[in-house]
Amino acid sequence: MGQGPIGTTLTNARLLTPHGVRTGWLRAEDGRITALGTGEAPTGEAPERDLGGKWVLPGCVDIHIHGGAGAAFTDADPERALEIVRFNREHGVTTVVGGLVAASPRDTLDQIAALAEVADAGELAGIYLEGPYIAASKCGAHDPALLREPDLAEFAAMLKAGRGHIRMITVAPELPGALELIRAAAAEGVVAAVGHTEATYDQTRAAFDAGATVATHIYNQMRPLHHREPGPIAAALNDERVTVELINDGVHVHPGAAAMAFAAAGAERVALVTDAMAATGLGDGEYTLGRLRVRVVDGQARIPETGQIASSTIVLPDAVRRAVHTVGVRLETAAHAATAVPARALNLAGVGSLTAGNRADLVVLDDKLEVAAVMHRGAWIREP
């Protein structure tokens, strides 16, 4: 792993800034972006690296991911969690929120405690609970035997185990006690998301009124859109308060439906996520997600017994590239959806945009939008 100098100036770069594309330079010092501008960089300030016109994006921010490189956040092992974080950094994802799936109450607390240790060290941006308070009929790759109704006492125990690091929890609004749990989450600064749900349009709206602000992987494992009962999909796409997650791997969502999400919600409300599992980076084979067996064939992860899509095997820059080449959105929009939008949705400060004062987390892309280099906290993980 290449350790760069304390100060570095990147020149001849196409910078994707909050104000659009700027051809120019960026300076990183002591792990932070200290300055950026157009044209020629001021000379003599720091060692220069000419990027030859390559794209520079903020480091990607994945707020919905379960594993990678053979490890899973459900392993309840801080070292295994670090393996996932490091794997993602090498591939351009410099901010990761560790995702858990439905488990028993005891296992859930053990898993949360292990991830809190990694978050305490500053290696993980937080913890995401995808369940256990979700609908059995829309459980997807969650073990239905481990699902349960929202429980405020159990949620309080989760918060205690998480030591302030739980960032988001997915809840099905139609379950008894769901709205109370959403309100409790919002009061504790935890983002409530609506997902894995049979909720009607009105039930979903009630969840957003109670404080939910995210729709978990829009389209997937939720009541489908119908013109007389539009359900959670329309409720989320129509609500300016809501960020919609989108798994853009070419398997979970058709490009036409992905394009509709971008068109309906707009560039400020679509957050690209991977929902990636342990198989990511390893290829086809047999794996587990929680307690369930998963088979990966041609990069597609499914539960063998049902054929149900289990997770994805991509990293977030893959979703950005696919959004441009297959869905047809502009690179600025796709990159925004993988950086600033998810960071804002989970209130992650100092990441997600090329802004002076933010962490010097950068991804360099070539003309094919492949990852050419990665910087984390001002040090090169992969050198250009």
Compute CA distances 126 → 105, 212, 272, whole Å: 19, 18, 17
Measured CA to CA, the distance from residue 383 to residue 9 in angstroms comes to 14
Please pick, among 62, 239, 249, 275, the residue that the annotation labels catalytic.
275
Ligand-binding annotation for 254, yes or no, is: no
252 annotated as belonging to a binding site for a ligand: no
The yes-or-no answer on residue 275 being catalytic is yes
Separation of alpha carbons 105 and 146, rounded Å:
9
> What does the H/E/C string look like for the chain?
CCCCCCEEEEEEEEEEECCEEEEEEEEEECCEEEEEEECCCCCCCCCEEECCCCEEEECEEEEEECEECCEEHHHCCHHHHHHHHHHHHHCCEEEEEEEECCCCHHHHHHHHHHHHHHHHCCCCCCEEEECCCCCHHHCCCCCHHHCCCCCHHHHHHHHHHHCCCEEEEEECCCCCCHHHHHHHHHHCCCEEEECCECCCHHHHHHHHHHCCCEECCCCCCECCCCCCCCHHHHHHHHCCCCEEEEECCCCCCCHHHHHHHHHHHCCCCEEEECCECCCCCCCCEEEEECCEEEEEECCEEECCCCCCEEEECCCHHHHHHHHHHHHCCCHHHHHHHCCHHHHHHCCCCCCCCCCCCCECCEEEECCCCCEEEEEECCEEEECC
Q: b/e per residue, 228-237, with b = 16+ CB within 10 A? A: eebbbbbbbb
Report whether 196 belongs to an annotated binding site: yes
* Rounded distance between C-alpha atoms, residue 153 and residue 175, angstroms: 16
Closest by CA position to 371, among listed 125, 21, 93: 93
Q: Could you give the residue numbers annotated as active site?
A: 275
Which residues does the annotation place in the binding site for Zn(2+)? Answer: 130, 196, 217
